[in-house]
């Protein structure tokens, strides 16, 4: 497969640079591989597309204020994006500067935070922050919400709340699990009333999600690893849903990757770990049967994932339809509900691997 196989034309005017006033007001494109079709719907009608006994699995990670601005000791400007927090006082960051800072040098952020460069790891830098506060405390004090670069604007006060799911509780992500941005408290209540179960995983979305696929051959791309946690109660919820004939629906590609990464022989295992799982067409899914997601960038790993889930040709047609019908794209845009293609199913057997 070539990266160019996952390209498509998107008019700039279809990029949703701001959210709608109401979270649930988005449109919803329902993609059904079994019928070979897609249907225009509204997200507010989502509960009608679920049955009692189905299970929704959400990613409860919380976005941190991961973007920083500062300067090197030499006076040169630095723009930084935290990739992940390593400990109370250390983090990995992407640093943009005219000349990369060297290990042993210092960077001063916002005129008050002194950080020392410990080492360089490929395109990332490990920094030690002033121990007067923890990394998370420093970020909350002087950081900015790390809006995706394709929004082409700086973060505003309203983004502090809207670029965060209503159920976010575990800080550590530098990008929102954007499929969850469509849910509000009333929607969650309607789903519960309809007999649909809910469960949570945690996957701290890293800054690697913003990185383009530079390799032309898909097989040459390497994913940045991300930390995830699967609670025992989520494993129990998945098993219970399956036992009663319910369908497991991941809310977002991050929830899907966490569940599939933690699956062994078709059964989700509780615990925590790191995943660099790169899902492309040909992958056989063990756990997730339905996926709620947003529209993704051309040539991106996420577009490859949804193509693997729903079928490359059907997803290509669905995206062309969405462009023609002027759906809103990307993080603050409209949503999709994709049913898993029959060709993307792996039999539940011991020792199965992606």
Tokens 């945690």, residue? 202
pTM of the model: 0.92
Whole-number pLDDT of residue 206: 85
Instruction: Give the span between the Cα atoms of 204 and 224, in whole angstroms.
Output: 12
Is 252 a member of any domain?
Answer: yes
Co-location of 224 and 324 in the same domain: yes
pLDDT of 345: 82
- Whole-number pLDDT of residue 225: 86
| Cβ contacts of 73 within 8 Å, gap of 6 or more | 105, 106, 107, 108
Same domain? 274 vs 329: yes
Q: Examine residue 313 and state whether it is found in any structural domain, yes or no.
A: yes
Single out the residue in 84, 115, 143 at which a domain terminates.
Answer: 143
Q: What is the pLDDT of residue 353?
A: 29
Write out residues in the chain with pLDDT < 70, as ranges. 208-211, 346-354
Phi, psi of 17 (to 5 degrees): -85, -15
pLDDT for res 209: 67
The b/e string for 246-260 (b: 16+ C-beta within 10 A; e otherwise) is: bbbbbbbbbbbbbbb
Residues 176 and 225 grouped into a single domain: yes
Residues 122 and 83 in one domain: yes
Q: Is 155 a domain residue?
A: no
pLDDT at residue 210, as a whole number: 63
Residue 285 belongs to domain spanning: 3-63+160-344
pLDDT of residue 351: 29
Residues 257 and 338 in one domain: yes
CATH number for the domain spanning 42: value is 3.40.1780.10
Domains held by the chain: number: 2
Structure tokens belonging to residue 1: 């497969």
pLDDT of residue 347: 45
**Residue of 9, 26, 22, 19 whose CA lies nearest to 336:** 26
Residue 170 lies in a domain: yes
**Token pair for 117:** 């460069």
185: which residues sit within 8 A by CB, 6+ positions away? 166
């Amino acid at each position: 497969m070539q990266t160019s196989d996952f390209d498509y034309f998107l008019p700039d005017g279809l990029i949703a640079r701001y959210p709608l006033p109401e979270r649930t007001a988005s449109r919803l494109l329902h993609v059904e591989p079994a019928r070979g079709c897609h249907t225009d719907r509204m997200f507010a009608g989502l509960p009608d597309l679920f049955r009692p006994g189905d299970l929704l699995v959400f990613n409860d990670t919380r976005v941190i204020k991961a973007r920083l601005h500062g300067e090197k000791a030499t006076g040169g400007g630095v723009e930084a994006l935290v990739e992940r927090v390593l400990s109370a006082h250390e983090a990995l960051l992407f640093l943009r500067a005219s000349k990369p800072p060297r290990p042993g040098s210092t960077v001063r952020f916002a005129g008050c935070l002194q950080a020392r460069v410990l080492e360089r790891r490929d395109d990332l830098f490990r920094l030690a922050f002033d121990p007067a506060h923890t990394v998370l405390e420093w970020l909350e004090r002087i950081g900015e919400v790390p809006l995706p670069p394709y929004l082409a604007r700086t973060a505003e006060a309203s983004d502090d709340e809207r670029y965060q799911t209503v159920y976010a509780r575990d800080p550590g992500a530098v990008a929102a699990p954007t499929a969850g941005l469509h849910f509000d408290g009333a929607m969650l209540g309607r789903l519960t009333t309809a007999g649909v179960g809910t469960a949570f995983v945690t996957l701290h979305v890293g800054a690697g999600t913003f990185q383009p696929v530079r390799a032309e051959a898909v097989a040459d791309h390497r994913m940045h690893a991300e930390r995830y946690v699967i609670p025992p109660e989520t494993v129990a919820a998945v098993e219970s849903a399956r036992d009663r004939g319910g369908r497991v629906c991941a809310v977002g590609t991050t929830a899907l990757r966490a569940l599939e990464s933690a699956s062994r022989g078709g059964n989700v295992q509780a615990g925590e770990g790191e995943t660099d799982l790169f899902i492309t067409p040909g992958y056989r899914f063990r756990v997730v049967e339905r996926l709620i997601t947003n529209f993704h960038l051309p040539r991106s790993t996420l577009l490859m994932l949804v193509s693997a889930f729903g079928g490359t040709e059907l997803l290509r047609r669905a995206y062309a339809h969405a462009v023609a019908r002027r759906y809103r794209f990307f993080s603050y845009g409209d949503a999709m509900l994709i049913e898993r293609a029959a060709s993307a199913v792996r039999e539940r057997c011991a020792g199965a691997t992606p």
